[in-house]
Structure 1
Amino acid sequence: MECYQAQTQSFWNRQSKHMSDLATRIVGFVSRASKGLRSLRSLRNAQVRLQASTRQAELEGLQFAFYARLTAIIVVSIWLIWLVPWPRDLYYGTYAFGFFLLGYIPYHLRHHRHGEAIKLGFIVLDVALVTAAILVPPPASLGNDWPIQTRLRGQEFLYVLLLLGEAALTYSPRRVLWTGVSILVIWSIGVVTIYSQPDTLRFNDAAAEGVLTSAAALDLSLKPAFVGLTAWYTQLVATSLFTLLITLAVWRSRRTLLNQVEAEFVRADLARYVSPDVAEALASRGGTAFGEPATRPVAVLFADIVGFTKLTETLSPERTFALLRGFQERSCAIVFKHGGTLDKYLGDGFMATFGSIGLQPDAPARALACAFELQQEIERWNRKRSTRGADPLRLSIGIHCGPVTVGNLGGRERIEFTVVGDVVNVASRLEEATREIGGSIIASEDCIRAAGDPEWLTRFQSSRQIQLRGRQQGLLVYIAT
């Protein structure tokens, strides 16, 4: 019977172990799946923000292009009024007004869900309108009865190329390329149409009648109805090259813009987990050369809420969490305001450094100013808390400065930028010593001397020689109550 009970107990122990292992695996799987979902959600959010920022930059570029277009219309209109006699300038003024409308309509519809397609369609209309203004002669009643072939003799084709410049202002390589292709196609249609006119004189027709001498070719090319294709070929090649070069330039500018926007997102995301100066250093250096061990003078500040455990005995976990978050938000804002680095949170306290990221000659003064403003902020917060009957908070601060080693610590999975050295231990002990001495801020003589300004001594009520735990030599400190 005992043997049977032992076997039964062993069986249930094995089953219990199997169930425990299975539960552990399930919990691990759920945890990994949850982390994976959070990573995917974070990646998706980053992509959405990047697309939104890129879209905003394109809209701003479109707005800038519209105002640049408006400026160009005004300049060209004034030029035409001065150049073209009355009343022919009214004819070209109509084209200018039409060109304004073709720019205003897509600009007005820029937020439409089909705004990109609308803009591409109006680019075709832009090219067609400018081409018509150049190649279609005004009515003979306006005082111009030259043959239509003479419309290809001037330099007005350069006005068409201005559309490439407008497209380049929108940060969209696709619009530049679309504009270039539209120019090539529509301008070619116009040139071929004029070239195919029955009264057009061509080299091919003259050569078919016999040998065309140089003098005859020159005489033919000077006739108003003559059209040669060499200028058209040159325009096609130049437009193609301009389109390619501007497209590449806009593409590079867009890539630079995207990299800057992405760097801002990285910096903003990093700043949620590390100090803004650490995030700035990581983002600007790409994390490659950041965190190499170095020795430099640094001011270290430790701050802690006195009696936090007793203070939160009657608080719910939610209210305790809210209290900690309120304290951290206020204190971190002040640390960052004075150019400090939040090294780490220590439960209900924190450690901050000044001059750890880069050399700060005034790091001790920054640390002292930060300490006194922290106390002022806690006093303001206590007055606000007293209105709802909450217990006041008391903050203890210890400050010391001196040479430390700064750099990255940790393994491959997680690293932490921090400072190491006796200065850190002394600053921590000074914060602890406030309980025995009774002051709220204790700063070492080294820190006061390094701050340089004798005015700091007036901020402290007393000084004394103290013996810190774990140290053989005494230390002269200044105490502010």
Structure 2
Amino acid sequence: MRESKSVKKSKFQELKDRVYYRHRHISDDEVILLRAAEIDAEMFVAAMRIIVSLGVLAAIIFAIDDVQQIGEDYLGRQVKIAIVSCLSYLIVGIVSILIIKINAFKFWMSWVAVTADCAFLFLNGWFSLINSMISGDFIFAMPLVWLAPLVLAFGALRFNPLLQTYVTLLLVSGLSILVSWEPDVLAIDINDRIALAFGAPPNSLRIVLTALLGTMLVVAVQRARWLLRQSIIEAKQKANLFRYLPAQVVETLAEGRLSKLREGQLRDMTILFVDLRGFTKWSEMQDPKTISIFLSEFREIIQHASEETDAIIDKFIGDGALLLFDGASTAQRAIMCSRLISMNVRMWARDQAKKYRYSVKVGIGIHHGRVFAGVVGSDTRLEFTALGDAVNTAARLEQLTKEANMEIIASHAVMQAAGSSEESKHWIRLTPVHLHGRQNPLLIYGYKHP
């Protein structure tokens, strides 16, 4: 089936967005969120632009009678300049909303919009100076120059530091040009004209502009608080979503690569299974609180060993755990982890033997091979896991530790991956075992404590 033009256009826009945001080193998911936030901000700014335009127009209309009573021709022209500027400003706001409504907004349009804001301000000030025949030193006597704080606020609402820097530079440059401007001929009654610029009608317009700025900032602050609240809610949701994932995977998710993790990968990993011996029988005679404390202490040992060897705790399974080793030196790290668990459990068992009346022992199986590793689960709970024959083999080797009367058993694949090591003298070759689904017997080694 051929794709529709709208679908092709949407995909093309998504591609352009990724290119635009690439220099920010963010993920595809963040690109979508940022684009949505920028469109939302542009819609809000466009609406505020319309409100400001209508507010200023209303103030000008109310001041027309006072201007007519004064009877100065240049004031009439000044009013017309202000009306044309406000109407142009209003049109920009309306056009911006229409563009967003028809889903035709492009990221570069924000730059055009802020340039138009500054251009209107600059042109209004320039024409006002020419019409009034006064020096640029008095540019700030022109009421509409008070739009400058509004333009800066519009830029800030877009949450784009680069865009805000651009707006600031435009305003500073434009106002600097206006301040340095001098007419060829100064008005004879320049003092009177400056005095009129601070009369009741212009001051009323300044008050309106101040009220609009204050109103806009109130709305902006409320919007920022809403965004902050949404961020907090989303952070809590993510924290709840990631609580079942290992720290190494959460770091990857924090970079926004959930979609990649969900795809999964085939990779060579070393897998370690650890399990308590005789725990089920012992726990049947204990109260729930004792079992909970005991398992918590045991899991702290596993957690400590995993942190020391940079292991991924795939999951705790009752009185056991599945650990994964990815990256460099996986076999060496797995062997070190198994020794740490064994040593710490022995120390813990000596300290707790009288308390629990239970001779704590563990069985550990280690295998190296190719597995599928990735994140699985729903949007409310994610879980990192590894699947494959290598995982099943490691679990079987852990079970063999009881039959072979060994605490740690590793496959020949682990020994090969680990290479030559000073610890090799502590390993003894055991009788090869036939595992279900394998044609050839599996060479295994047991660890002999020094």
Which protein has the larger Cα radius of gyration, Structure 1 or Structure 2?
A: 1
Greater relative contact order (Cα 8 A, min sep 6): structure 1 or 2?
A: 2
The normalised TM-score by structure 1 is 0.46
